[in-house]
Chains A and B, each alone.
Chain A
Amino acid sequence: MPAVVIDDIHKRFGAIEVLKGVSLTVESGQVVAVIGRSGSGKSTMLRCINGLEPFQSGRIEVAGHEVVQNQKRLRALRKDVGMVFQSYNLFPHLTVGQNITLSPRVTQKVPEKEAVERAREVLAQVGLSEKYDAYPETLSGGQQQRVAIARSLAMQPKVMLFDEVTSALDPELTGEVLIVMEKLAQGGMTMLLVTHEMNFARSVADVTVFMHQGKIWEMGPSEELFTSPKTPELANFISAGVK
């Protein structure tokens, strides 16, 4: 069974149509990278998948949940789908440990002791065991983003969504985050990531999707897509190396 099925979704912000019929399937265990210029609709598509953006028509199914604007069903979906944001969005008034244990304890009723164990595990996974009691503001951007990934992992999701997670980072800090993501991919996690990191998409993603003007313009196995783009738009995009 595929982990994510997007079927012909249309999305408008007022009069502007940002998604003009997008369809995409992500198999379980697959890593799919979405690239494209800003304004191409790639982040909006990702946000539609966990219901942060409503869409006008089409259908999305993720981890066995259909995306509908019903709070209860959305919560059930979000327990199975992790999301990591560009601006980390850690809760500044909580320690790293509290950030990670909050949702498991509150939404999954995991006992305190087990939630803490789980938190230490995922924190070790992202290489930040020693930061359990630190507050987010004392961490670097790269560390904060790794904590955000750990926070999602503690929910034990079936699918992980990454929305330009290295775009807000200084160049020297992107590496540590990408390494964590690469390890996650090797571990068999189903991942859908919107990214500007071409090399990462090329080397880690099984499939790369190029979005342009609200449509999936071109997609295919990553290596193939990057070496022999079929459309001039993609060729242009790759050669310009633009954001």
Chain B
Amino acid sequence: MTSFGWPEFLFLLRSTGWTLLLTVIAFTLGGVAGGGIAIMRLSRNPVLRWIAMLYILVIQSIPVLMVLFMSYYGLTLFGIELPPTVAASASLAVYVAAYLAEIWRGCIQAVPKQQWEASASLALTRFEQYRYVILPQAIRISLPPTVGFLVQLVKNTSIVSVVGFTDLARAGQLINQAVFKPFQVFTVVAALYFVICFPLSRLSRYLEGRLNARRSH
């Protein structure tokens, strides 16, 4: 039996890199889709609104694990064999899109209605209203909850081993199987997650405090 030493620790560090990379890709893909879904959710077209609403409702009512399985097996059923990195980030993006869409919808709606009216009265198109008036204000409001969600995403990446991806949690599991020192191994794994998540949690809280201070004055 091997012991838990430097090589194992370095393996965990490398896997932390994979976890981070996966987070960034899933967040980027899911963010683009989520932004579109948020706008659809607020569209004047009832069909678009319903599609977006249904998407958000369904994804938010099933486990992330099922989102992973469904996207993964759904795709393989069509004969599409995806490399684990793509499978993991694409299926996580499906989940990210729903949550970000819902968060951002709230932020867009937090911009006062009068801003829509004033910009409409100045003859701006709906796109121009979003582009120049609404989104710049909504983005400011969205920063704290978006960073907060990023923490949830980092943690939820821990289950991507089900589609064959070796992330930090999976690496911990593999090492533990080899050395069987669960306390040591998982303490280090937990610590690595904590080092990523805790500063983000703090940042989210700091941004929220700053936003509230700006608003109340």
Contacts and interface: CB of A to CB of B under 8 A. Distances in A.
Q: A–B direct touch, CB within 8 Å, in complex?
A: yes
Interface of A: 50, 52, 71, 74-76, 78-79, 82-83, 85, 87, 89-93, 102-103, 106-107, 148, 151-152, 155
A103 B132 CA distance: 10
Give the top 9 A-B pairs by smallest Cβ distance, nearest first: A89-B118, A103-B122, A78-B123, A83-B121, A89-B114, A107-B123, A79-B123, A75-B123, A93-B136
B123 A85 contact: no
Interface string B129-145: 00011001100100000
Contact of B118 (A75, A79, A91): A91
Given A79-B123, A93-B136, A107 B128 contact: yes
B115 A89 contact: yes
Contacts of B132: 91, 102, 106
Contact of B117 (A71, A85, A91): A85
Q: Which of B115, B122, B136 has the most CB of A within 10 A?
A: B122
B121 A107 contact: no
Interface of B: 114-115, 117-126, 128, 132-133, 136-137, 140
A107 B120 contact: no
Given A91-B132, A93-B137, A152-B122, 19 more contacts: A52-B117, A52-B121, A71-B126, A75-B124, A78-B123, A83-B121, A85-B118, A89-B114, A89-B117, A91-B119, A93-B140, A102-B124, A102-B133, A103-B122, A103-B124, A106-B132, A107-B122, A107-B123, A107-B128
A76 B119 CA distance: 14
Contacts of B128: 106-107
Contacts of B136: 93
Contact of B133 (A71, A76, A87, A91): A91
A107 B124 contact: yes
B186 to A, nearest CB: 46
B129 to A, nearest CB: 10
A148 B114 CA distance: 13
Contacts of B140: 93
A76 B125 CA distance: 11
Contact of B122 (A71, A87, A151): A151
13 contacts: A75-B124, A78-B120, A78-B121, A78-B123, A83-B118, A89-B114, A89-B115, A89-B117, A91-B133, A102-B122, A102-B124, A107-B125, A152-B121
Contacts of A93: 136-137, 140
B147 to A, nearest CB: 20
Nearest to B44: A71
A155 B120 contact: no
B217 to A, nearest CB: 8
